Structures are given as C-alpha cells and as structure tokens.
Chains A and B, each alone.
Chain A
C-alpha cells in the first residue's frame, strides 16, 4: 500500500515537473515583464540604487556559486557584508557548489525542483542553462539599468541567447599568457607577438638537460578551449552569425597541425601533456619546468605567489596573433536569476556586483579583472604592470563561440581527438573531420 501510494505520488510529481521543465517560455517571471515600468529607478544622476529604497527591500536571496579558494571566499564575504549594510532587510544565503558538479546539481534542480534564486554562471555554461529553462530573462531590467554606461554591449554577448539577456557580468577572465621573463632575457629573446615568434621561442627555450620545456600545453580538461582559439586564429570560425556550423577544413587542419607539432615534432611541450589540466600546467610553470603558459587573469595571484610578484621572473602578455586573426577569449562570470520568488531582492544582489565599489573590493581580494569599465579605468588597475596585457587584450578579445551543446562537443569530441593527434594515433585531418562531424551533430541535433 505504501509502495503504491509512493509510486503514484512520485510519478505524479515527476511528470508534473517534467512538464514544467519542458516549457521554459511559459514561466513568465512576475517582476520582469512589467518591471520596465515598475522598476525604472531614480534618475542616473543620483547614487546608484535599486529601485525600491534599499532600507525597505526585504526578502531572502539564495545564491549558488563555485568560489573555492580562500581569496575568493574572502571576496564573497566582503561583498556580502557590504550588501547587508546597504540592504539590511535582505538575507543572502550563499551555497557553495563544487565546480565539477555544478551542472549536475543545476540540472537536477531544474528537473526536480529547488532552483536557486540567483546563481553564478560561467560563459560556457550559460547557453545550456538557458536552453534547459533554468534562467530568467533579464533584458528589460538591464535595458533601464544605470550601470549600463559602464558595461558595453559586447560584455553581454556571452549572456545573450536569441536576443535576450540572461546574466549580468560580475568579473572577467581575460585570456592571456604568462612567460618566464628571466629565461627570455637570458636567451636574448623578445616577448612573442605572433604565432611564429611563439613557436620560435618555445623551441629555443626547450632544454631537456635542464628539464625545461618551452610551452606548458594544456592537453587535458580545458585544453579544448585553447585549441579552439588556435583554430580561430588560423581563420576558421566554429559557427557563423546564424549559429550554423562554419568550420573550414583546411584552415582548421593547419591549426591543429601547427599546435600539435609543438609537441609531436618539436618536443617543446612536456610529455605529460595529454594528462595536463590546470593543476599540472600551473605546477609546471611554478616549478620552473615551462617557459610559457596560456591561461587567464584569474590565476594571476597564484602565479605571483608561486614565483614572486616583483621578482622579475615572470610577466604577462597578450596571446600571440595567429596567421589570420588575433584571438583571445574574454569570458565573464555572470550572475543571473533562476527562480523569480524575490525578483526585486534578487535584482538588487545582481546589481550590487556590478557596482564599482564592489568590484574594487572583490578585485583586491582575488585579483579578478573587473567587468565594469569604470573600475578598469581606476588607478589600481591601470597602474598594475601585469594588467597592461589584459587591458590591451580587451581591445581585440571577445567571447568564445558558445551554443547549446558546445561544452559537450568540446569535452567529448574536440578534446579526446586532439589527444589522439598528440599521441600520434590519428592525423590532424582525421581529427578535424571527426570534430566537424561532431559539430554538425551538436548544432543540428
């Protein structure tokens, strides 16, 4: 008897939830569509404020994030305290979700209930989260937002799906390059500006007798993003403006060949490459095994701690320019809304992250590059010699191609096949063929 009752209940709720999850557009968040009128705030001249007087705003805001390190948690702490000072009646409940399991937990919440009110969203995850009906459209709120002046439209590109905006940028990860300035000086090499310079430097700085390699290539998890940047630098886009597959077989093959030969032909890359993910390439660079490292601004503090911030041992540079294009991904961490229960309080939290003071406080704890141009113009950012590379990159860098299913394509098609090229199991052309086939399947279904 128990069993039957239970089965009925779960079948019933299960199917109800499935139906709810299936119709994302049907869920019209209460505050958003009418918010244009209700929440048009005070004139921009006054201090940036939420639409309802801060002291009067009430509600509980749940927030899912993937902050891990002490510095990030300190930053979050600072931001939360400042938020509580401004909005004393709003409670923020932050929930720390392990990064590798974030999508699994989010998917479960979408299907089974329990979505957070607000959540941190990374650029690569956003299209998937939108398509499964997990995020709320923020377009009208953003349109009348006073912080828009400091957030140029391209910063919202990664958060826009089908013309609608689903996230507010809180900080940026600007892809750049670290290099061993001391080794370069020793060898009399100039910092590389093009792919040719880069290859040249990698080969010259490889010295097996000293256990030195020119480039710490990321051949495991996350490395697919770097390969895609190289492919685009050779002139092959991934998808076109309409979102259709647009890879150029010849150019992509040239790209894969050039990149993989750094290892297979010139041995300028440590032999552990196919198992080297972030942890390993960082270890390699910190322990003096590699001369150059491709990552982004988020790791600046870690590299600084490992090698000494003012030791002159390392420097930062924009990524080198490829033969056809100068590509560097700039991705943003967004904050978005998932459950519209307390829409106004939620929006206040989202808005708060974009405030210049908040961004400065967070920058001081984590070193993460701000998303607001007002903050980027701040002396603390401008005067820091390491950030020069990021500021320069922002002039040409842009979002990585992201579409629903791109994460999966990158991880299960691009990466393993690139690893097989590195291992010598298949040729670059063959890998590109598989990638293109997989891309068709990912886009067209």
Chain B
C-alpha cells in the first residue's frame, strides 16, 4: 500500500513536557499496558450496563415469566424457543425482517454514498444550506417524522398523493399503508428518508480523509473515474463503511418505533417484524419470557451477521 506522505505541521513538534500531570500521563502512555489503560473506561461502562441486562434477558428466555399467568419465573428450558419455532407468525416476522433489513440497509447505504460522493466533489459550490438540508431528516424526532409521513401519504388528504395525481402518475389517491403490496415499501421509503443522512454524514467524513495525492497519482497514470472509485475510494472507505453498515443493520433489526406509528405491523401481518413481535409480547401480552426468546433470537442473528461481515471485510485483520 502506497504511503501517503503528509508532512506534520510545525505545531506538532514535540515539546519537553512541562507540568507534572502531563509528565505522569506521558509516562503512563509509555508503559506496556497503555493499550489496556486506554480501553478501561469504555469497557467498564459498557460492561456495567450491558452484562447484567443482557445476560438476565437471555436467561429470561429459558423461563416462563408472564405477569398475568406466571408471575413467578420458572425454568422451562427450551420451551419458549419450541413455541416460537411452531408459531407461523414468528416465521412471518423473520421473513419480513429479512426484507426490511436487506432492502433498508442497501437503499440507505446507496443513497448515502452517492450523496456523499456528490457533496465531496471538488469544485462544486455547495452551500451550508444544502449540506444542512440533507441532514435534516435525521434530525427530526421519530414521533414527528412518523406522523408527518402518515399525513403525507394519507389516502384522503395526503399531499404526496395529491401531487402524484396532479403530475398524472396516479389515477387516484392510493392508500399506501393499507395495502399489503405497498405497505412495506412505504415504510421502507420513510425509513430511507429518515436514515440515509447517517450514511451521508459518515461517508463524507471518511471521503475527506482520503488523500488527494492518491487520486492525482492515479489520474496521471491514466485511470478513469470508475477505476479510482473502485480501487482507491472504496478500499480506503472500508473501515467506515463496515462500521456504518453494521450499526444501521442493528438499528433496523432493533427499532420498531417507526413501524408502530405507521402500520403497527399491519395490514394483516405485512409489516410485522421481529422487533415488533418482541415489543408486543412484552408490553401487550406481558409475556416477558416469550419476548426474551424473540430478543435472544435477534441477538444471535445480529451477532452472526456482524462477525461474518467483519471477517469478510478484513477490518480487524492484522
């Protein structure tokens, strides 16, 4: 890999350490255990808040614990999982979740990427207004965004319906969330709108870290835009892409908020996803054992995806 030659500005010149505190920190940083000291704060915090809740959650999935029927948790082994496997609704949610996550992640990544590439383009006049405008959907609280979109796509007074009819693209208002064919697509559209700026933000910052010299060198060698993109941009962006995709996939699997506002899993079971199933089990059915089982399934699926993706992309390779 060619080394980017970046000179370090004069202000980076090391100075003799003055204060005792700095001396101590500097000294500390020279110790062999420096890597671990750096890790300690975050590790402690996450462990303290994560270990107990997650392990108790997983443990709960092996219990029968229903506030209405079995208020005292009792160990039942794999019964909750057996019930899930036998439940057709569960498998429907798995299928729906697969569609939801795949299409969602891809569409959001793609739109975020082309927007970041366009923003990064040298010589374009891109004002602050444009930059901020592109970020706005992500800033909007979900409760407002969800209700606004359900109003925009409303089959009686929805502005988007009105515009599409006026433009001649539709004959009449469509009840986007009421038909099983369009419900998932409509919710995916809202999620795309809300979350593509996440990718734009990260990918743009990543693009700005790619040294100009690499592109110039490639251009001198006669490389086209495509070649630069595939051989320079994407590889340099990989760490950021992997991080963003993993975080977004986790977000897609785990948050039912938008779904609850827009369709609550309907019509029928068309938009019923795993996170909604867990939510309903817990707070409508008060069956925390069943909810824990669904949650553990989600956890396992996510861990499998994340490990596989991380390994394939080589982000943690030496």
B residues with a Cβ closer than 8 A to A are 44, 47-48, 51-52, 56, 66-73, 154-157, 175, 177-180, 183, 260, 263-269, 272, 280, 282-286
Contacts and interface: CB of A to CB of B under 8 A. Distances in A.
A10 B52 contact: yes
B73 A425 contact: no
A416 B177 CA distance: 14
B74 to A, nearest CB: 11
A128 B155 contact: no
Contact of B68 (A19, A131, A283, A419): A131
7 contacts: A22-B71, A131-B67, A132-B67, A280-B154, A287-B156, A405-B285, A420-B267
A272 B72 contact: no
A231 to B, nearest CB: 19
Given A11-B52, A275-B175, A404-B68, A419 B266 contact: yes
B188 to A, nearest CB: 16
Contacts of A423: 179-180, 267-268
Contacts of B71: 21-22, 24, 132-133
A275 B266 contact: yes
Interface of A: 2-3, 6-7, 10-11, 14, 18-19, 21-22, 24, 100, 103-104, 107, 110-111, 128, 131-133, 219-221, 270-276, 280, 283-284, 287, 289, 404-405, 407-408, 411-412, 415-417, 419-420, 422-423, 425, 445
Contacts of B47: 3
Nearest to A284: B156
B61 to A, nearest CB: 16
A238 B78 CA distance: 32
| Dominant secondary structure of chain A at its interface with chain B | helix
Contacts of B179: 271, 274, 423
B267 A283 contact: no
B156 A416 contact: no
B72 A22 contact: yes
A14 B56 contact: yes
Contacts of A289: 156
A221 to B, nearest CB: 6
Given A128-B68, A408-B284, A445-B66, 4 more contacts: A131-B68, A132-B67, A270-B156, A408-B285
A237 B25 CA distance: 76
Given A7-B52, A22-B72, A404-B68, A275 B286 contact: no
Contact of A412 (B48, B157, B178, B284): B284
Count chain A CB atoms within 10 A of each CB in B72, B73, B282, B286 and give the residue with the most: B286
Given A107-B67, A272-B156, A272-B175, A408 B280 contact: yes
Given A271-B155, A280-B154, A220 B280 contact: no
A283 B156 contact: yes
Nearest to B276: A412
A3 to B, nearest CB: 5
A416 B269 contact: yes
Nearest to A279: B150
A2 B40 CA distance: 13
A271 B280 contact: no
Contacts of B73: 18
A3 B178 contact: no
A415 B69 CA distance: 23
Contacts of B156: 270, 272, 280, 283-284, 287, 289
A274 B267 contact: yes
Contacts of B44: 2-3
A24 B71 CA distance: 10
Q: Which 4 A-B pairs have the closest CB atoms?
A: A272-B175, A274-B267, A275-B178, A272-B155
A22 B157 CA distance: 49
Contacts of A283: 154, 156-157
A283 B178 CA distance: 16
Contact of B264 (A10, A24, A220, A407): A220
A6 B72 CA distance: 24
B266 A416 contact: yes
Contacts of B265: 416
Nearest to B267: A274
Contacts of A273: 175, 178
B52 A416 contact: no
A220 B267 CA distance: 8
B300 to A, nearest CB: 24
B266 A415 contact: yes
A7 B44 CA distance: 13
A278 B68 CA distance: 28
A445 B157 contact: no
B68 to A, nearest CB: 5
Contacts of A100: 260
A405 B157 CA distance: 36
B35 to A, nearest CB: 20
A420 B157 CA distance: 25
B293 to A, nearest CB: 16
Count chain A CB atoms within 10 A of each CB in B47, B66, B71, B180 and give the residue with the most: B71
B270 to A, nearest CB: 8
A419 B175 CA distance: 14
Contacts of B52: 6-7, 10-11
Contact of A132 (B56, B183, B286): B286
A271 B284 contact: no
A162 B21 CA distance: 70
B67 A110 contact: yes
A169 B179 CA distance: 40
Nearest to B178: A275
A220 B179 CA distance: 12
Contact of B283 (A10, A104, A405): A104
A53 to B, nearest CB: 40
Contacts of B286: 107, 128, 132, 408
A417 B68 CA distance: 24
B80 to A, nearest CB: 14
Count chain A CB atoms within 10 A of each CB in B51, B157, B266 and give the residue with the most: B266
B285 A103 contact: no
B133 to A, nearest CB: 29
Contacts of B284: 103, 407-408, 411-412
Contacts of B56: 14
B267 A3 contact: no
A133 B286 CA distance: 13
A283 B152 CA distance: 14
B75 to A, nearest CB: 14
Contact of B267 (A104, A107, A419): A419
B209 to A, nearest CB: 36
Contacts of A417: 268
